Copies of this chain bind each other. A is one copy, B any other.
Amino acid sequence: MERADLHDEHTVFTRTGEFADRDAFTAAGWCAMERSLEVVGTRSAMMLVREAFYGGRRFDDLVRRTGLAETVASKRLRQLVTDGLMERQPYRVPGARTRHEYVLTERGRSLFPLFVALMNWGATNGAQGGVELAHAGCGEPLLPAVRCGAGHDVGIEETEARLAPFGPRSGEQGR
C-alpha cells in the first residue's frame, strides 16, 4: 500500500499500491529487462547489430568493422539468427557464385531506440568524436526520449511501476 519510500526526497519511480510486499516487483516473473539482456546483453551482439544498422551485411565486413574475432562473430551471428534478430539470406551478383548476407529482421530493427539510447548515453560521457547519429531531414542529432501511449512526454518522476495486467502487452514499439 505504500506509494512512497522511507526517504521521499530520493524516490525515483512511484509504485502503485497493488502489492503488499514490494519484493513482489522483483518476484513477478522474469523482468523484461533481463530478457532483453539475455539476447543483446553481450558486446558482440550489439556491435553486430550496430554494423547492420550502418549497412554492413557480408560476414567479412561485419568482422572487420566490429573488430571481433571471426570465431566470435560466427557464433554470435548464428545466435542472432536463431533469436530472430537477423536473417541469413542468399543473394547472387550475376556472374558470381551465390553468397549470403545478414539482414536485420523487423525484430532486430526494433532495437533502434535501444541503440540510440546506448549511443547517446556513451556520448554524454565527456568523450568526443566518433560516430554521431542525426536526422537525415534536418541534420540535428538524435536523442532518446520516453513517451506514453497517449503521446505525452514522460519524465522520470512521472513514471509509475506496476504489475502488468494479464493479456497481451499494451505497449508496442513507437516509431
Contact of A168 among B109, B128, B160, B174 (CB under 8 A): B128
Report Cα–Cα, A149/B131, bound state, in Å: 16
In this complex, which of A7, A57, A120, A137 has the most chain B Cβ atoms within 10 angstroms of its Cβ?
Answer: A120
Contacts of A35 in B (CB 8 A): 122-123, 125, 127
Contacts of A128 in B (CB 8 A): 164, 166-169
A173 at the interface (CB under 8 A from B): yes
Q: What is the size, in residues, of chain A's interface with B at 8 Å between Cβ atoms?
A: 106
Would you give the shortest CB distance from A165 to chain B, in whole angstroms? 8
Contact with B along A136-159 (1 / 0, CB 8 A): 111111111111111011111011
- Chain B residue with Cβ nearest A109: B156
Q: Does more than half of chain A's interface fall in helix, strand or loop, or is it mixed?
A: mixed
Contact of A31 among B11, B28, B36, B130 (CB under 8 A): B130
A55 at the interface (CB under 8 A from B): yes
Q: Is the CB of B13 within 8 A of A53?
A: yes
Report Cα–Cα, A118/B22, bound state, in Å: 22
Q: Is the CB of A13 within 8 A of B164?
A: no
Contact of A33 among B23, B122, B153 (CB under 8 A): B122
Q: Is the CB of A28 within 8 A of B131?
A: yes
Given A91-B7, A104-B12, A142-B154, answer yes or no on A171-B37 (Cβ-Cβ < 8 Å): no
Question: Can you identify 24 A-B contacts, CB atoms within 8 angstroms?
Answer: A5-B55, A7-B57, A7-B91, A10-B103, A12-B53, A26-B66, A26-B67, A28-B130, A30-B130, A33-B46, A34-B122, A36-B121, A37-B43, A113-B120, A113-B121, A123-B164, A128-B169, A135-B158, A135-B160, A141-B169, A142-B146, A144-B144, A144-B145, A145-B174
